[in-house]
């Protein structure tokens, strides 16, 4: 596998800090959440960055390539369109599942796949499908997790190594996620770094989090702690990473603090004695993009001639396990045997809280209509206990409003009229009448 082209030091581009990002000194590249941009109407800030020669990489969060189902062709096409629109050298996603099809449930979050032979077979086939569909190479990120699957057959290092060997996919290593999994799942980050093929490294993520009650929450809303920078130093002692990126998604600090965190990252990368493995100029290849072509398989060509298709029975087994866990997390069904029940409850609360936060961003009018942040949050969390998300956050906002209207809420008539108007304008239909609400209530009681 040829080495990647160098990206340098970058930051996650977000609309809230777009102006600050443009002013950051020495910025080499940015990463953008793929689902948050429209290929035909790129934000002006991204256009200006590209005109300056700053590379832009789309980072997907909704593909669910570790799920039991084959990747959605429409989602793959959308990811590819964004790569082309941005002139990106590659696209990235996560080794995770985010939904199930039977029953139809959405996590709204990245959930870990079981490190079993069945799950690895499914993941490898899904990766090959994605590689055939995408116009640029794909790299996959290790995720942070609160929970572990019972009866796993492989370590994280073994799982990632075999994934690379069977598919040729690149790795996006998030050192903050390595720390999260050390706290939450007892995994040794050094053992992971020692086991994985670092020649497959595309780039590195660095981010902050916070520990509460013995659980590390990968918030992307706190400063990068020293322990994560130490892990970056440990990775740097093994390999010279092609790129390192600072992630920040919420509670954005002043511009000077962002610049200081990037400086801290550069200091780690440039520290004496952290030479790591460095290819020669000849090995690295001259010219931009030299390291990518080797990973571009021709459509329809398997990564290995001996790689068989995954049997549907294998996908079914993986799907049943993922559905049982996701249902426990978002629909209140019993926790599957072997899982840590306390950790599942913590994860369930975190998923509901994230739903509330994202819906509030997607539909900020709801908080105002319901009288502020606390009344909104209380009402949404009560709704989320019995109503799992099935169609994305915008649909969730509409379903939440309909849920309230069916129950003649909010109690204030003026607020209820405003909510009715809001729902009608976005749903395109009249809200359910009293007879429909009465019938739905009876059905709910019967269930």
Q: What is the pLDDT of residue 386?
A: 80
Residues 6+ apart with CB under 8 A from 354: 108, 109
The C-alpha atoms of residue 373 and residue 357 are separated, in whole angstroms, by: 10
- Cβ count within 10 A of residue 185: 18
| Dihedral sign (CA 106, 109, 110, 113) | negative
Q: Environment class of residue 155 by beta-carbon count within 10 Å: exposed (0-12), middle (13-18) or buried (19+)? A: middle
pLDDT at 273: 63
Nearest Cα neighbor of 389 from 329, 324, 317 is: 329
For residue 169, the number of C-alpha atoms closer than 13 Å in the C-beta half-sphere is 34
Paired tokens of 400: 């939440």
What's phi and psi for 205, nearest 5 deg? -105, 145
Q: Give the three-class secondary structure for 171.
A: strand
Across 4-43, the runs of DSSP E, i.e. the strands, are 8-13, 29-33
Assess contact for 93 and 65: CB atoms under 8 A.
yes
- Count Cβ neighbours within 10 Å for each residue of 66-90 and write b for 16 or more, e otherwise: bbbbebeeebbebbbbbbebbebbb
Within the chain, which residues score under 50 in pLDDT?
A: 276-303, 305, 431, 435-436, 439, 442-443, 445-447
First-to-final CA distance of the chain: 56
pLDDT of residue 213: 87
The CA radius of gyration of the chain, in Å to the nearest whole number, is 23
Residue 418: how many CB atoms within 10 A of its CB?
A: 16
Q: Tell which residue, 43, 152, 139, has the closest CA to residue 91.
A: 139
Contacts of residue 417, Cβ cutoff 8 Å, sequence gap at least 6 = none
Q: Nearest to residue 10, comparing CAs of 178, 286, 242, 270?
A: 242
pLDDT of 5: 85
CB 31 within 8 Å of CB 268: no
């Amino acid at each position: 596998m040829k080495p990647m082209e160098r990206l340098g030091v970058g930051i996650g581009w977000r609309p809230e800090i777009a102006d600050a990002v443009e002013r950051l000194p020495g910025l080499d590249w940015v990463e953008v959440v793929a689902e948050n941009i429209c290929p035909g109407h790129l934000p002006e800030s991204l256009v200006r960055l590209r005109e300056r020669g700053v590379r832009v990489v789309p980072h997907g969060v909704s593909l669910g390539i570790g799920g039991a189902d084959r990747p959605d062709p429409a989602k793959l096409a959308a990811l590819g369109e964004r790569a082309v629109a941005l002139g990106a050298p590659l696209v990235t996603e996560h080794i995770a599942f985010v939904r199930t099809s039977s029953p139809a449930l959405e996590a709204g979050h990245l959930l870990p796949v079981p490190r079993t032979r069945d799950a690895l077979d499914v993941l490898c086939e899904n990766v090959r499908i994605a590689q055939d569909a995408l116009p640029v190479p794909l790299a996959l990120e290790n995720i942070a997790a609160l929970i572990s699957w019972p009866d796993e057959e492989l370590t994280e290092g073994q799982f990632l190594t075999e994934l690379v060997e069977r598919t040729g996919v690149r790795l996006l290593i998030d050192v903050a996620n390595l720390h999260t999994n050390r706290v939450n799942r007892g995994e040794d980050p050094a053992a992971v770094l020692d086991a994985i093929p670092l020649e497959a490294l595309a780039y590195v993520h660095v981010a902050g989090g916070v520990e509460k009650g013995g659980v590390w929450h990968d918030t992307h809303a706190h400063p990068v702690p020293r322990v994560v920078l130490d892990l970056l130093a440990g990775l740097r002692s093994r390999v010279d990473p092609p790129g390192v990126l600072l992630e920040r998604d919420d509670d954005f600090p002043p511009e000077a603090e962002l610049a200081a965190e990037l400086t801290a990252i550069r200091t780690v990368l440039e520290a004496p004695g952290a030479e790591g493995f460095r290819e020669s100029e000849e090995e690295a290849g001259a010219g931009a993009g030299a390291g990518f072509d080797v990973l571009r398989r021709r459509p329809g060509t398997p990564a290995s001639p001996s790689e068989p298709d995954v049997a549907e029975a294998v996908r079914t087994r993986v799907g049943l396990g993922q559905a049982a866990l996701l249902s426990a997390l978002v629909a209140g069904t019993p926790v599957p045997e072997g899982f840590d029940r306390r950790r599942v409850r913590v994860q369930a609360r975190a998923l509901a809280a994230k739903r509330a936060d994202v819906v509030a961003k997607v539909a900020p009018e709801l908080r105002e209509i319901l009288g502020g942040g606390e009344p909104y949050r209380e009402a949404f969390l009560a709704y989320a206990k019995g109503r799992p998300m099935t169609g994305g956050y915008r649909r969730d906002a509409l379903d939440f409003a309909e849920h309230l209207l069916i129950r003649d809420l909010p109690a204030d008539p003026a607020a209820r009229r405003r909510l009715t108007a809001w729902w009608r304008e976005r749903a395109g239909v009249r809200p359910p009448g009293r007879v429909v609400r009465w019938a739905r209530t009876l059905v709910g009681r019967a269930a």
